[in-house]
């Protein structure tokens, strides 16, 4: 897949394209991408995704803080595993937001050489959000651009979407979120210095600082995870929360992972964790002894889930 920017847009061949945020690059998005790929192949054109370098609402509202399933680098990584040939990184600006749908489609046709535009089943663009697929088809005909509408991926009456997946993560339904994504939800971060309380309980942890501050975190609680350090994969037990048993109630949320069967100093190293399943919510225990006993039970549960041996 080739990345296209404003500076290299002239190199983009005539293409079939779709446009959107593609947050999560989930199975619904991949279903759309497959439709784009198939039409492009049938028409003898290149296949292209057009996505924004920033969430549009961030540009329009300085106070908006998105909760992303995938930051830009992760989206591109996911796109690499699809049959798409070109990915246009389009900077979203206030000037762009003021364009009408027809003006925007004219840019797609004249600058990015879009011959066929696939419109998401629930996607709208242009300043007038009241316009929809019928208007896009009319503008496309005027511009010499074919406009097609994608089908939604529906399972058991549910349309797979980024909003649905975020809701699953907020409810602790990690396995369901992973099913909709088509891969395990993951977090990239750096191991930073922490309070080192875990080692006093027999559960040393790596404190993770996410590389993407806008990344959606699953609900507070304990999780079974896989931990990637370089090319090595380990089983892990991860906690998201304020650790209320040993910290003040107003302690900031932390992400700490206890890596099973691992000894080593990994401070400042990059780490990736894949969420496999939700174990339990975070609880404030009466004392450290009760907490330690629960952590021991949690470790057994994680080992069973991940088929780990002592």
The residue from 43, 85, 156, 256 that is catalytic is 256
Residue 156 CA to its chain's centroid (Å): 23
Q: Is 282 a catalytic residue?
A: no
**CB-count burial class (<10 Å; 0-12, 13-18, 19+) for 87:** buried
What distance, in Å, lies between the first and last C-alpha atoms of the chain? 43
Cβ neighbours of 46 (radius 10 Å): 19
Residue 126, token pair as written in the block: 């242009």
Continuous segment of H or E residues that includes residue 106: helix 101-110
Residue 5 is given by DSSP the state -
Residue 215, token pair as written in the block: 């990344």
**114-119/146-149 β-pairing:** parallel
Cα separation, 239 vs 112, in Å, equals 45
Residue 185, token pair as written in the block: 């939800």
Integer CA distances (angstroms), 275 to 27, 66, 174, in order:
17, 21, 7
Catalytic residues: 256
């Amino acid at each position: 897949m080739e990345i296209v920017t404003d500076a290299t847009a002239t190199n983009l061949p005539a293409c079939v394209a779709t446009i959107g945020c593609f947050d999560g690059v989930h199975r619904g998005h991949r279903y759309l991408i497959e439709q784009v790929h198939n039409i492009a192949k049938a028409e003898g054109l290149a296949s292209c995704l057009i996505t924004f370098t920033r969430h549009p609402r961030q540009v329009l509202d300085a106070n908006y803080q998105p909760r992303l399933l995938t930051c830009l680098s992760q989206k591109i990584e996911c796109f690499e595993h699809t049959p798409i040939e070109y990915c246009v990184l389009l900077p979203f600006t206030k000037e762009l937001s003021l364009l009408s749908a027809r003006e925007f489609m004219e840019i797609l046709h004249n600058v990015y050489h879009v011959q066929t535009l696939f419109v998401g089943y629930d996607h709208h663009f242009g300043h007038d959000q009241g316009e929809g697929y019928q208007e896009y088809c009319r503008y496309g005909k005027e511009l010499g651009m074919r406009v097609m509408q994608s089908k939604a991926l529906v399972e058991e009456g549910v349309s797979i979407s980024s909003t649905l997946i975020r809701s699953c993560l907020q409810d602790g339904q990690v396995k369901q979120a992973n099913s909709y994504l088509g891969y395990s939800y993951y977090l990239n971060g750096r191991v930073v210095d922490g309070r080192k309380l875990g080692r006093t309980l027999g559960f040393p942890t790596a404190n993770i600082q996410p590389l993407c501050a806008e990344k959606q975190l699953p609900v507070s609680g304990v999780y079974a995870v896989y931990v990637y350090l370089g090319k090595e994969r380990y089983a892990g037990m991860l906690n998201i929360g304020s650790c209320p048993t040993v910290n003040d109630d107003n302690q900031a949320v932390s992400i700490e992972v206890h890596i099973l069967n691992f000894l080593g100093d990994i401070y400042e190293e990059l780490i990736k964790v894949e969420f496999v399943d939700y174990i339990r919510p975070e609880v404030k225990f009466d004392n450290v002894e009760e907490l330690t006993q629960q952590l021991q039970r949690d470790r057994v549960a994680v080992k069973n889930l991940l088929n780990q041996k002592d």
